[in-house]
Homo-oligomer: A and B are copies of this chain.
């Protein structure tokens, strides 16, 4: 009944502290590869142009500015915002508008420029995504939300911090091979495990980065996909889930209820199971978040996620490779771009376009993206299918 929708192209800026670029220029940098692939402005019907927070740059209602920066100022656009899950929420909204027949070709472009303010100020701005009446005034920030989860997980499952550091080592191992990464350097287990504390039990290497960057993908309706590519990546499953606003209301801190709901919905729509997935991009805003994601996505039983990293099953040659682009930890986490960047990475892997064979996953039929907003209040899970 409904039309199938494919991702046909993607673009990605360099992630990092981009003092050299304005928000406009980051958008243009992410759109350029799409343009170069022949998807010029006249072929695009409408756009979703997104960023998470206007405080970083002061720019309100920025989708018009983004559209203007890439020559799409006359095409319908809107902004979607779901904090750190903004990128995939934008893809979800665009999917609906394309599948429904409202538009045939949509560009989804996510951006964030976070380093025009200090990292302390950026952290404070992000904290405002917590409840402004009942959480923020008491000083809880995002490292603290995830430190609570880590503490509870460590207590409940007797988890040593070592396991979290192993995840950080993996992230940096792959980020070092990704030319788009914000912090492309290897770290040793000792460095990662003995870094300065940020919010105990989380240390510097357990935390993702405050990053500037942009990423873009193009969604096209089935009847027109062939005009654009012979390597389409179909949207096979699209799940969204949510959790209570305040972390105190959660029944458990060792799992994110919204993530489990989102995964269930995505697997159901795709007609697939966790074992069918060949790679995943998960939301490792903190190392503990990646560990919990293994379990929420059904790759491991509750409390058993550690086996995946201990046995290197989440490395690029393993059973279920995870974040072989460096993840939020090493590639970086420009909020509004992150979910789009994850999708870009799945497309690159399917097309065997990883820059180095040492991070190229062998054969990706199904790739999964898991993108979490706030401390789990909203989660999108998308399953993509190779179409060739």
Which A residues are within 8 Å of any B CB, using their own CB? 1-3, 22, 46, 52-55, 57-61, 63-65, 67-68, 72-83, 89, 92-102, 125-126, 128-129, 131-133, 136, 238-246, 257-258, 261-262, 265, 373-374, 377-378
Contacts and interface: CB of A to CB of B under 8 A. Distances in A.
Contacts of A81: 61, 63, 78-81
A300 B258 CA distance: 50
A260 to B, nearest CB: 11
Contact of A102 (B82, B99, B374): B99
20 contacts: A2-B3, A2-B100, A52-B60, A60-B125, A60-B128, A60-B132, A64-B378, A65-B132, A68-B244, A68-B246, A73-B245, A75-B242, A76-B378, A77-B240, A78-B81, A78-B378, A95-B100, A96-B102, A97-B100, A99-B100
Contacts of A246: 68
A300 B68 CA distance: 30
Contact of A54 (B75, B128, B238, B373): B128
A132 B77 contact: no
B76 A245 contact: no
Contacts of A128: 54, 58-61
A92 B78 contact: yes
A80 B83 contact: no
A82 B61 contact: yes
A55 B52 contact: no
B93 A257 contact: no
A95 B102 contact: yes
Nearest to A373: B61
A76 B242 contact: yes
A75 to B, nearest CB: 6
Contacts of A98: 96, 100
Contact of A1 (B3, B77, B244, B258): B3
A358 to B, nearest CB: 37
B68 A101 contact: no
A226 B244 CA distance: 32
A74 B57 CA distance: 32
Contact of A22 (B76, B97, B125, B133): B133
Contact of A101 (B1, B55, B129, B258): B1
A101 B99 contact: yes
Given A58-B132, A60-B83, A73-B244, A101 B67 contact: no
Q: Which of A68, A72, A96, A133 has the most CB of B within 10 A?
A: A96
Contacts of A243: 64, 73-74
A97 to B, nearest CB: 4
